[in-house]
């Protein structure tokens, strides 16, 4: 299935898994280049992973830490996706429904971040304070 666009580029279904993976990797590069908050979350994740190695957390703690990390990163991806689609639809004009969509998507990141902070406290406080 193809669809013509204004700039004469043709969009078609990916022909292979490798092609799909390349587009997904392109998306990650775009996120890293254009989204300050995504870069912040990646750096914070790296710090958490290093700290986890230093503190020698156990396997079950790793599962929770990695779950928290990936939830925040996925929430940031969904937020960026939502913002991009809203911007595509409304352009530069203000729209109350567009604002609501963007604010709710951003709230998803905040909720995931609160979850991650709680997991971090549950895992690291007992280790750091010897509880």
Tell me what pLDDT residue 1 has. 46
131 residues of the chain, pLDDT tens digit each: 455 555 667 677 777 889 989 999 999 999 999 999 999 999 999 999 999 999 999 999 999 999 999 999 999 999 999 999 999 999 989 999 999 999 999 999 999 999 999 999 999 999 999 87
Residue from 19, 35, 76, 83 carrying the catalytic annotation: 76
Tell me what pLDDT residue 8 has. 66
Residue 35 a catalytic site member? no
Name every residue whose Cβ is closer than 8 Å to that of residue 30 and which is 6 or more positions away in sequence.
Answer: none
């Amino acid at each position: 299935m193809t669809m013509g666009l204004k700039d004469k580029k043709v969009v078609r279904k990916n022909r292979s898994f490798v092609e799909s993976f390349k587009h997904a990797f392109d998306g990650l590069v775009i996120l890293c280049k254009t989204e300050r908050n995504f870069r912040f979350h990646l750096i914070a994740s790296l710090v958490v992973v290093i700290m986890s190695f230093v503190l020698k957390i156990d396997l079950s703690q790793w599962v929770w830490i990695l779950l928290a990390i990936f939830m925040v990163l996925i929430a940031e991806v969904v937020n960026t996706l939502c913002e991009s689609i809203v911007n595509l639809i409304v352009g530069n004009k203000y729209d109350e429904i567009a604002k609501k969509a963007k604010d709710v998507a951003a709230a998803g990141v905040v909720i995931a971040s609160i979850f991650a902070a709680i997991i971090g406290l549950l895992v690291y406080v007992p280790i750091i304070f010897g509880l």
